[in-house]
A and B are shown apart, each in its own frame.
Chain A
Amino acid sequence: EAGVTQFPSHSVIEKGQTVTLRCDPISGHDNLYWYRRVMGKEIKFLLHFVKESKQDESGMPNNRFLAERTGGTYSTLKVQPAELEDSGVYFCASSQDWAVDNSPLHFGNGTRLTVT
Chain B
Amino acid sequence: DAMVIQNPRYQVTQFGKPVTLSCSQTLNHNVMYWYQQKSSQAPKLLFHYYDKDFNNEADTPDNFQSRRPNTSFCFLDIRSPGLGDAAMYLCATSGSGAGYGYTFGSGTRLTVV
Partners in one complex: no
Q: Which residues of A contact B (CB under 8 A)?
A: none
